[in-house]
Amino acid sequence: MEGYQPSRIRNVALVGHNGSGKTTLCESLLFTGGAIPKKGSVDAGNSVCDFEPEEINHHMSVSITLAPFVSEQVKINVIDCPGYVDFFEEVRTALSVVDLAVVVISGVEGIEPQTREVWDYLNSLHLPRMIFVNKLDRDNSDFNRILDQASTELGEGILPAQLPVGAASGFRGIVDLAGNTYIDYDQGKPATRDIPAELVDTVGSMREKFIEGTVVADDNLMEKYLEGILPDQESLSKTLSRAVSGCDVFPVLCGSAANDTGVDLLTKAIVSIGPSPDSIPGPTAIAGDTEVEVPCDPKEKEVLRVFKTFSDPYVGKISIMKVLSGTVKPDSTLINSTNHTEERLHVIELLRGKHSEPVSAAMAGDILAVPKLANVSTFDTLSAKGFPITIEAPPVGYANYAVAIEPRTKDDEDKLMTALHKLQDEDIALRVERVDETHQTLLWAMGDTHIHILLERLARKNGVEVSVTEVAIPYRETITRQAQGEGKYKKQTGGHGQYGVANIRIEPLERGGGFVFSDEVVGGAIPRQYIPAVQKGIEESMAQGGAYGYPVVDIHVTCYDGKYHPVDSSELSFKMAGALAFREALSNAGPVMLEPVSKIQVSVPEALQGDILGDLSSRRGHVQGSEPGSLDGIASHMTTITAFVPTSEITRYALDLRSLTGGRGKFRSIHDHYDTLPSNLVDKLKKS
């Protein structure tokens, strides 16, 4: 396949709530566009985009998938995006490389939490978009209800560009308000017919509103319209295109992806009014110490950005990247500006689902796949030799749900970390943490479904089986008062014995004070060379755990006296004496348990603020305050609450908050300090 000029490329993401029909729509776009001979099905497990076993088994998309096709000599790079909340990072990745989003809304369920989430994010990016109201052939579908919802919940600029004719099983056609035409799908293939007589008045009224909503983007056209001069079709289309590119209007289209109704009209709209990559400003990059804009020009030097990595069982690692500038051909040699290695692109490919075919060139604005680039990772920048340039990676969401994993066999243990690193290459939202204090390996993800998918991939792709256990809370211990202790270690064996006596005093430090050791021994009661051994014995005893079995912290130990034997004393004897002295002193120093406390910030719709405040209080939380806006600064209709909550109370908060808010809440937490664990909870821990 020859390369396409930027003006003949459209990069489009299909986004929306899970179950709105995005993957089915993608399948229909490919089929009606002639890219595939027949449609597959998500339910049957044979769709182009949901090809991973995990997607087939769970009947949902979990990764972004590329699905290009050609219409009217324009290459449309469709990226099918997951709709489930756990995989929103995939959506953010896709939106970093497209020029248009098609927000798919079910005509039955209407606007759902992820619809609002992605709309807010699109607003923050100022990314052009259209709305496709899907499933209008289903019972209980209602186009007008969806329009009202969109206007109320999504804000200004919602502009109906089409009207459905018929409803549910009687849905048979679509009126295109721009062209003032009726397309009948009743016989399977679209046919242009006269607008049904019973709809003439409604169409006339809606077409007038459509024209009014469009001409506001052009002062000259608006002036003529106010004078009673209607714009011609070409002027209307060009003005609508500018309005879409400027995010002034968001056309609403309609149809049924399952029946291919309206999908051809969506394709035409993408081609005619969707922005091309060279019609919008390029990304900002760093060249040396200077910020530069990367122009979408095939004649400039090559700049490419990797935005997705995955592994194929036969091919190996595949890097999907967007050509931001220049023209790339097979055997091009580029510099990885991120890690300063040289990369040769032996083959460049068009990727559609899991199927690929080699191409002879890819120009600025296009998307391609390159296999077997071992030193290239997601968000790396590749550029021409002598032209090192770096594009900053987009922010990655905060993974806030963790499980602890343990390899099931010795073979699994040997392969585990390598396998996890491979998973991280494919999934930027995954975070792996080794907690030395609890001796656990934690997988941090976006939710329980994300975890399940990761573990399935770990077993399928890497042959590693793990067991999932609860995340251990790193409790600690400290003391509340001063105490003294004497440690005497005496052991007689054949030859030299062991003898050492240490007298110590312990007292509490401020929270976070750690450990302080003081030497106040005088008169040589303990020879100077044995004092470090006393300290080491105390430190090891603190690490092994105090009265409740947890590490002891925030303590000041003073060694003030002792005894030694000129023959039998040794470092070992004083190390043991230090440990024994500490144990005795600790038992008399009022030991208490400490629990970790996290600072948590929770963003929820304002109407749910009271419910969240009550829930945080039930978790022994101390609310510090609230302020308008969301954590990421995107959604103004949210409120963010800040509180200090014991870490043990929020290990499943990602799941609980989703339940409490219907998926509309988000939070971020970070360890802040340790505080005394209430005595009634200490007793519960003892029993458990």
| Superfamily of domain 8-279 in the CATH hierarchy | P-loop containing nucleotide triphosphate hydrolases (3.40.50.300)
Whether the Cβ atoms of residue 551 and residue 478 lie closer than 8 Å to each other: no
Is 281 or 108 the better-scoring residue by pLDDT? 108
Is pLDDT of 687 > 70? no
Could you tell me whether strands 162-165 and 158-160 are parallel, antiparallel, or unpaired per DSSP bridges?
unpaired
pLDDT digits (tens, 9 = 90+) for 244-280: 999 999 999 999 999 999 999 999 999 999 999 999 9
pLDDT digits (tens, 9 = 90+) for 78-119: 999 999 999 999 999 999 999 999 999 999 999 999 999 999
Is pLDDT of 125 > 70? yes
Burial 227-242, CB ≥16 within 10 A → b, else e:
eeeebeeebbbbbbbb
| Superfamily of domain 284-383 in the CATH hierarchy | Translation factors (2.40.30.10)
The residue type found at 551 is P
Residues of the chain with CATH 2.40.30.10: 284-383
pLDDT digits (tens, 9 = 90+) for 612-624: 999 999 999 999 9
Three-class SS of residue 89?
helix
* Percent of the residues in the chain that have a pLDDT greater than 90, as a whole number: 84
Residues of the chain with CATH 3.30.70.870: 401-455
- State how far the Cα of 204 lies from the Cα of 177, in Å rounded to an integer: 9
pLDDT of residue 362: 97
Confidence of residue 404 (pLDDT cuts 50, 70, 90): very high
Is pLDDT of 43 > 90? no
Element at 245 (helix H, strand E): helix 233-245
What are the phi and psi torsion angles at 560 (to 5°)?
-115, -10
Whether the Cβ atoms of residue 103 and residue 132 lie closer than 8 Å to each other: yes
- State how far the Cα of 4 lies from the Cα of 367, in Å rounded to an integer: 11
Could you tell me whether strands 181-184 and 173-176 are parallel, antiparallel, or unpaired per DSSP bridges?
antiparallel
**In 10 A of CB 561, how many CB atoms?**
17
- What number does CATH give the domain 401-455? 3.30.70.870
Strands of the sheet containing 498-508, edge to edge, are 483-491, 498-508, 555-563, 515-519
Q: Averaged over 175-189, what is the pLDDT?
A: 91
Give the C-alpha distances (Å, rounded to integers) separating 401 from 86, 431, 449, 596, 671. Answer: 10, 10, 11, 17, 14
Q: Averaged over 390-409, what is the pLDDT?
A: 91
The 8 Å CB, 24+ separation contacts for 614-623 are 615/656, 615/660, 616/641, 616/643, 616/645, 619/645, 619/646, 619/649, 619/650, 620/645, 620/646, 620/649, 621/645, 621/646, 621/649
Is pLDDT of 686 > 80? no
Q: Averaged over 12-19, what is the pLDDT?
A: 97
Q: Averaged over 522-535, what is the pLDDT?
A: 95
Residues 6+ apart with CB under 8 A from 165: 171, 172, 173, 174, 175, 182, 184, 196, 199
pLDDT of residue 599: 98
Domain 477-590 has CATH 3.30.230.10: yes
**In 10 A of CB 599, how many CB atoms?**
15
Is pLDDT of 649 > 90? yes
Cα-based angle 92, 96, 101 (whole degrees, multiple of 5): 80
Residues 6+ apart with CB under 8 A from 668: 398, 400, 600, 601, 631
Is pLDDT of 290 > 90? no
Whether the Cβ atoms of residue 109 and residue 29 lie closer than 8 Å to each other: no
Q: Averaged over 221-245, what is the pLDDT?
A: 90
- State how far the Cα of 640 lies from the Cα of 634, in Å rounded to an integer: 12
Dihedral through CA 153, CA 157, CA 162, CA 167, nearest 10?
10
Whether the Cβ atoms of residue 312 and residue 318 lie closer than 8 Å to each other: yes
User: What is residue 45's DSSP assignment?
Assistant: T
Whether the Cβ atoms of residue 520 and residue 556 lie closer than 8 Å to each other: no
pLDDT of residue 167: 92
Residues of the chain with CATH 3.30.70.240: 594-687
pLDDT of residue 494: 64
pLDDT of residue 443: 97
Tokens linked to 192? 């242009």
Is 418 or 494 the better-scoring residue by pLDDT? 418
- State how far the Cα of 400 lies from the Cα of 137, in Å rounded to an integer: 39
Whether the Cβ atoms of residue 68 and residue 352 lie closer than 8 Å to each other: yes
Class assignment of domain 594-687? alpha beta
Is pLDDT of 2 > 70? no
Is pLDDT of 187 > 60? yes
Whether the Cβ atoms of residue 394 and residue 325 lie closer than 8 Å to each other: no
Q: Averaged over 39-47, what is the pLDDT?
A: 90
Burial 638-651, CB ≥16 within 10 A → b, else e:
bbbbebbbbbbbbb
In SS3 terms, 259-326 reads as CCECHHHHHHHHHHHCCCHHHCCCCEEEECCEEEECCCCCCCCCEEEEEEEEEECCCEEEEEEEEEEC
**In 10 A of CB 200, how many CB atoms?**
11
- State how far the Cα of 253 lies from the Cα of 267, in Å rounded to an integer: 11
Tokens linked to 282? 């390029």
Can you name the residues that pair with 113 across neighbouring β-strands?
Answer: none
Tokens linked to 504? 């110590």
Three-class SS of residue 489?
strand
pLDDT of residue 229: 87
User: Which of 17-26, 384-393, 444-453, 643-652 has the weakest average pLDDT?
Assistant: 384-393
Q: What integer best gives the mean pLDDT of the chain? A: 94
Residues of the chain with CATH 3.30.230.10: 477-590
Is pLDDT of 493 > 80? no
Tokens linked to 548? 């409740």
- State how far the Cα of 214 lies from the Cα of 206, in Å rounded to an integer: 12
Q: Averaged over 487-512, what is the pLDDT?
A: 90
Confidence of residue 688 (pLDDT cuts 50, 70, 90): low
